[in-house]
């Protein structure tokens, strides 16, 4: 026999997520405002759902009301489906046509929003590499970006906390910097602009020199800029015009419009016994119940099979939603309690007490996956005696030279410069020395990086400004 065909049986394991589990995960990521809109849509659509407590003397819906609700759902071109409906316009896996897992137009419109920056980048990461090690580092980098799309943490600090070689972090960062929007993942403005210019094929030596001397452009010292760039005035004007057309904060396109007041999902306050009390904010918790009494009454008088099917679908959807909301609340509270435990010094003393904290350390402490912690932290806020903070605020790497949170060190640097005297302007070296006296080991280059992140000019510029004022 010149050729043979072989059949091989291989046994393996794979994780299959049910549509219900997928939607529960997405529900966890919603902000309280998005959740309120979603629940309001469900209350409108499902006659078995009731808001708040169901009183014994509360007037129930009639059979006619129930049938009108069914007709309204059909007229809208949608139907209550067994299990949860897709969120954010995303159909359940395995669904086809208008059956199980159908996208419902009115719900899609209720939750219509652009994907977050992290979601947008993670989708590109999935396509860019299949290396699990590189993807793990890439996910950490993506969730470390600020809302403008910048990486403020030092790659060396990230490598130390992930216990991986720094060269691997640099490789993952270079990969992230190839994603859209152009300029994302940059560590400073010059790098952000350079990434965009490189994509446009305009990062020539003159442009590189200009990016290295942006401080001269800020001071409008065009004579010095012409000299370092090796161009005449006309060319310099064209280069500056091109720089102005670039996007200095690429991540902001994915940032939802800010509300005037940041409403906390969780409240952390000192308890009478000296401990920290962690509780969910009742004002942001949706209160819905499945009205089983009404279900039983309607079920008795329905005759048509399509009415019975609609009722069955209503009760399944209502049961799933009430269970999912309860689980969502428990998960948020569990994560917030662990954050409060690990950041106890912050809640008692303020910024000086902020400690390095990673998604991994919280996940390991409470037995959850890092991705779950990331979803909980997204779009949530914690209310404290010192104000309300985004939950992501409490996560961050340490400085490379010590165990102090980078955010706390940046805050302290800002305090030092804010209180410096006109005749005693602090250099980066002097700030590093003062921090060392306070027990914070930070190199001068790290001080410079943090100062730039705070958009504070160098000591020479600050001294010049003070002299002008005098």
pLDDT in tens, the chain (470 residues): 444 455 555 554 444 455 666 677 778 888 888 888 888 888 877 888 877 654 444 445 555 555 555 555 555 444 443 333 334 333 333 333 333 333 333 333 334 445 678 888 988 998 888 888 898 899 889 988 888 899 988 888 888 878 889 999 999 999 999 999 999 999 999 999 999 999 888 899 999 999 999 888 888 888 999 999 999 988 888 899 899 899 999 988 876 544 446 789 999 999 888 899 999 998 888 888 877 777 777 777 777 787 788 888 888 888 888 888 899 999 999 999 999 999 998 999 888 888 888 888 999 999 988 888 888 888 899 999 888 999 988 988 777 555 677 888 888 898 899 888 888 888 989 898 888 888 888 888 888 888 888 888 888 888 887 776 65
Q: CA distances (Å), 404 to each of 68, 342, 351, 352, 372, in order?
A: 61, 13, 11, 9, 26
Comparing C-alpha atoms, which of 92, 72, 87 is closest to residue 29? 87
Return the axis-axis angle of helices 117-128 and 166-176, rounded to nearest 10°. Answer: 110
38 Cβ neighbours under 8 A, 6+ residues apart: 27, 30, 87, 107, 110, 111
Question: Is 74 a member of any domain?
Answer: no
Is the C-alpha dihedral spanning 437, 442, 444, 448 positive or negative?
negative
Sort 467 into a burial class: Cβ within 10 Å, 0-12 / 13-18 / 19+.
exposed
Tokens of 113: 């929003």
381 in a structural domain: no
Q: Which of 205, 224, 254 is the last residue of a domain?
A: 254
Query: What pLDDT, on a 0 to 100 scale, did the predictor assign at position 22?
Result: 66
For the chain, give the longest Cα–Cα distance: 99
Q: What is the CATH number of the domain that holds 454?
A: 1.10.10.60
Alpha carbon distances (Å) from 78 to 24, 46, 81: 21, 12, 9
Q: Taking the C-alpha atoms of 146, 407, 175 and 369 in order, what is their torsion angle to the nearest 10 degrees?
A: -90
Give the span between the Cα atoms of 117 and 180, in whole angstroms.
10
- pLDDT for the residue numbered 256: 57
- Asked if the structure places residue 218 within a domain, the reply is yes
Number of domains in the chain: 2
Boundary of a domain, candidates 238, 254, 270: 254
Alpha-carbon distance 49 to 52, whole Å? 10
Residue 462's pLDDT is 84
Q: Is 169 helix (H, G, I), strand (E, B) or coil?
A: helix
Phi, psi of 286 (to 5 degrees): -70, 140
125 and 138 Cβ atoms separated by less than 8 Å: yes
Q: Residues 129, 138: contact at Cβ < 8 Å?
A: yes
pLDDT number for residue 191 = 94
> Does the residue 12 lie in any domain?
no
Element of type H or E holding 341: helix 305-342
The domain boundary, picked from 205, 235, 254, lies at 254
> Quick one: pLDDT at residue 353?
85
Cβ–Cβ < 8 Å for 23, 29:
no
Residue 162 lies in a domain: yes
CB 456 within 8 A of CB 410: no
98 in any annotated domain: no
Its domain, for residue 462, covers 406-469
Dist. CA 174–CA 169, nearest whole Å: 9
**Position 392 in a domain:** no
Residue 335 lies in a domain: no
Per-residue DSSP letters for 344-400? HHHHHH-GGG---B-HHHHHHHHT--HHHHHHHHTT-EEEETTEEEEGGGG-BPBPT
CB of 306 closer than 8 Å to CB of 422: no
């Amino acid at each position: 026999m010149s050729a043979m065909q072989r059949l091989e049986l291989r046994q393996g394991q794979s994780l299959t997520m049910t549509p219900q589990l997928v939607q529960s995960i997405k529900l966890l990521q919603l902000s309280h405002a998005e959740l309120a809109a979603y629940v309001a849509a469900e209350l409108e659509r499902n006659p078995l759902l009731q808001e708040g407590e169901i009183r014994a003397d509360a007037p129930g819906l009639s059979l006619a009301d129930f049938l009108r609700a069914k007709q309204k759902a059909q007229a809208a071109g949608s139907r209550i489906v067994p299990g949860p409906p897709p969120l954010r316009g995303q159909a359940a896996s395995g669904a086809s046509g208008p059956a199980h897992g159908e996208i419902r137009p009115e719900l899609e419109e209720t939750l219509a929003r652009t994907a977050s920056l992290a979601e947008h980048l993670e989708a590109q990461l999935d396509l860019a590499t299949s290396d699990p090690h590189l993807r793990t580092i890439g996910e950490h980098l993506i969730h470390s970006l600020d809302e403008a799309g910048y990486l403020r943490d030092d790659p060396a600090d990230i490598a130390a906390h992930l216990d991986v070689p720094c060269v691997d972090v640099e490789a993952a960062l270079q990969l992230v910097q190839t994603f859209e929007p152009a300029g994302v993942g940059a560590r400073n403005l010059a790098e952000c602009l350079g990434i965009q210019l490189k994509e446009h094929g305009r990062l020539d030596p003159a442009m590189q020199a200009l990016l290295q001397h942006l401080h001269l452009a800020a001071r409008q010292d065009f004579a010095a800029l012409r000299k370092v760039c090796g161009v005449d005035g006309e060319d310099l004007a064209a280069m500056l015009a091109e720089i102005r057309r670039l996007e200095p904060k690429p991540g902001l396109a994915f940032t939802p419009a800010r509300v005037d007041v940041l409403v906390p999902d969780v409240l952390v306050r000192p308890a009478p016994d000296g401990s920290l009390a962690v509780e969910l904010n009742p004002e942001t918790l949706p209160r819905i119940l499945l009205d089983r009494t009404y279900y039983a009454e309607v079920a008795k008088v329905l005759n048509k099979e399509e009415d019975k099917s609609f009722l069955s679908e209503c009760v399944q959807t209502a049961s799933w939603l009430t269970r999912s909301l309860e689980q969502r609340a428990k998960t948020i509270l569990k994560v917030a309690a662990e954050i409060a435990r690990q950041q106890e010094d912050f809640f008692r003393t303020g910024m000086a007490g902020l400690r390095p904290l990673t998604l991994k350390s919280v996940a390991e402490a409470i037995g959850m996956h890092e991705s779950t912690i990331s979803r909980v932290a997204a779009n949530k806020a914690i209310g404290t005696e010192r104000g309300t903070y985004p939950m992501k605020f409490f996560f961050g790497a340490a400085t490379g030279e010590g165990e102090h949170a980078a955010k706390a060190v940046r805050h302290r640097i800002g305090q030092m410069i804010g209180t410096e005297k006109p005749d005693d302007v602090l250099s980066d070296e002097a700030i590093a020395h003062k921090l060392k006296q306070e027990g914070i080991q930070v190199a001068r280059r790290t001080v410079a990086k943090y100062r730039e992140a705070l958009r504070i000019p160098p000591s020479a510029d600050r001294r010049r400004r003070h002299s002008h004022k005098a």
